[in-house]
Amino acid sequence: MTLLKYSAAAFAMLPVTAFAQTAEEDIIVTASGFEQPRSETGQAIDIVDRDRLDQLQSATISEALQTVPGVSIATRGGLGSQSSAFIRGGNSAQTLVLIDGVRINDLTSPNGAFDFGGLMTGNIGRVEILRGPNSVIWGSQAIGGVVNIQSIAPVSGFEGRIAGEYGSHDTKRLNANIAGSNGLLEGSIGGSFVDTDGISALAGGTERDGYDNKSGNARLKARVSDSFTLDIRSYYNRATVAYDSAFGGGANGLPVSRNRQFVGYVGANIDALDGRMQNRIAYTRTEIKRIGTDPVVGSYNNFNLRGSIDRAELHSAIDMHDALTLVAGAEYERSFTSTSFEGAKPNVARNDVVSGFGQMILRPVTGLTVTAGVRHDVYGDYGGQTSFGGNAAFTPNAGRTMFRATYGEGFRAPTLTEGQPPYGNPDLKPETARNFDLGVEQQFLDGKVQIFTTYFNRRSNDLIAFSTVSFTSENIDKVTSKGVEAGLSLNPTDRIDIRASYTLVDAINRTAGANFGNRQALRPQHSMSLTADWQTPFGLSVGSSLLRIGDSFDNATNSVRLDGYTLVGLRASMPLSDRLEVYGRVDNLFDANYIMVAGYNSFGRRATFGVRAKF
């Protein structure tokens, strides 16, 4: 059976179950840009779904990502503070982030890195994490990996969710979502609210840096005919972050940033050739706005930053044969930024890019899938970039054993800040990377025990860094990142769920000079996650999490060492009825004193109590 037959809504990037597969089969979209079984890709991909988020009681996406192998998190302060994700030792700017299939990376940031600090889990239905480069499908920034975040999807019939919780530091959360489908229309709409007094972001402060966040999400899909479907999605986030600035005011400073994010998607899915061909036409819009004020220091902390991305896409896939699927796409993207500080005249920058890609998915024999593709991007300010990639997945025994192999190329185009005057260098080239993976997965005892291990090796060249010689950005850095990811899942009974992962990452600076051979900043060499959950016979669920992060360095010279740390959490939930449940958790149970980024605070012991309901 071909990939297109697995879903009548390929490219819609919405989870569906209308395909022939086992109940355990995972469906992923980050490998090829449309839905396919995970067993048909050689790329390393993990899924954190709504049930897992509820089980972990994760308040933020970054907390959930810490349980995923190959991912490390660095947060500068409390809830809402800047939070960076590093995949397989790559820079935070080398992680491409999507919300409901739309790029959300921050154009107002100098390097375009996405800040996970403001992304709560309230109405998130699923997070898909691809580890390793995949610029053939996703273009710029897909060097370290891709994180695709999806809001709660429509369901058959009607379903509503509501949850509220209260915790330490006067933290309040509330979220609600309704979703439904009648066959012709599918829809989902929700909102969430978070407010906290917080902690001082910088160490040594006595004033608290508070945070509030309001977000909304909506999705609508209308089946106009058997071969034509309209698809509309949107996400909005409005947050106010009090923070401490290194540019004045110190740990008791009073700067505030008011942030706005909007994502919009309008698309049409069109079938042709008796369903053998799927086409998706879409327009997407991303808007980001940040306004900073500082009543005491002013200067750099008073800013007005705006950025936007307009994108048009045409993606098609055709089943040439049961053993061959061809995928192709054409894209046009236009980006814009406006930057001003302390009331100065805004600096405006623009760029556009035209892209095309093709991919072949071949199934020559049962159990073997081979994928190969190529992409070419032409940027208005620096020229073209070509990326290649390929992977293979093979199972000799219907999925009980899986062998995976991947070769992937990734690139990151210079941001408007890096590449255009007055701050940038117009002679910059894109950062590039080449990566290969080798992995194996094995199931035992009818799937009750699962293990996996993956070796990866990535070489990155022409990385953009600030030059102390020219006092501008230059393509001067080289990095080698290699390591091993391993995981174990145990489900001896339906009531017990144990999951463990371990990551070894050697992210080494290969740039000629004083820092040659040093470790990349904020990339721990060793990290481990262990979660264990048990549902008692009388309904109570109890669980615990252990996160062990090894030593790392805070700077490129490796002169500032950050000691490793261990965090332990406890959680429990109890259903009061089929529709109502109470829950609670204690994070950092032993009140460990740890540092994620030098000079910044981290949370001590915290307690939270909540109620959630379905109807």
Q: What are 155-203's pLDDT values in tens digits?
A: 888 999 999 999 999 999 999 999 999 889 999 999 999 999 999 999 9
Determine the pLDDT at residue 466.
Answer: 84
Q: Is the Cβ–Cβ distance between 472 and 422 less than 8 Å?
A: no
Does pLDDT of 83 surpass 80? yes
Residues 6+ apart with CB under 8 A from 68: 46, 48, 129, 501, 529
Q: Which domain holds residue 80?
A: 3-614
Three-class DSSP category at 65: helix
Phi and psi, residue 2, nearest 5°: -80, 165
245 falls in which pLDDT band (50, 70, 90)?
confident
pLDDT at 300: 78
Q: What is the pLDDT of residue 9?
A: 34
Rounded Cα distance between 553 and 538, Å, is 47
Ranges of H-type helices in 66-200: 135-138
Task: Label residue 537 exposed, middle or buried (CB < 10 Å: 0-12, 13-18, 19+).
Answer: exposed
The answer on pLDDT for 4 being more than 70 is: no
Q: Length of the chain, please?
A: 615
Q: Identify the pLDDT of residue 24.
A: 56
Output the CA angle 513-514-515, nearest 5 degrees: 95
Q: Give yes or no for residue 16 having a pLDDT over 70.
A: no
pLDDT score of 558 more than 50: yes
Output the CA torsion sign for 569, 574, 575, 580: negative
Of 35-39, 147-151, 405-409, the range with the lowest mean pLDDT is 35-39
Report pLDDT for 560. Answer: 97
Between 211 and 156, the more confident residue is: 211
Cβ(572)–Cβ(559) under 8 Å?
no
**What's residue 386's pLDDT?**
96
37: closest CA among 46, 24, 28? 28
Task: Give yes or no for residue 11 having a pLDDT over 60.
Answer: no
Give the model's pLDDT for residue 382: 83
Whole-number pLDDT of residue 6: 38
Per-residue pLDDT, averaged over 304-333, amounts to 94
Q: Which residues contact 273 (CB under 8 A, 6 or more apart)?
A: 318
| Percentage of residues of the chain with pLDDT beyond 90 | 82
Q: 99 - beta bridge partners? A: 102, 149
CB under 8 Å, gap of 24 or more: what pairs does 418-421 form?
A: 418/110, 418/111, 418/464, 418/473, 419/351, 419/381, 419/382, 419/473, 420/349, 420/351, 420/381
Contact 208, 155 (CB under 8 A): no
Q: In total, how many domains does the chain have?
A: 1
Q: Are 549 and 562 in contact (CB under 8 A)?
A: no
Cα-based distances in Å from 131 to 9, 70, 203, 454, 592: 25, 7, 33, 11, 30
3-class secondary-structure state, position 549: strand
Measured on CA atoms in the order 464, 468, 470, 476, is the torsion positive or negative?
negative
For residue 42, give the CATH number of its domain: 2.40.170.20
Is 249 within 8 Å of 154 (Cβ atoms)?
A: no
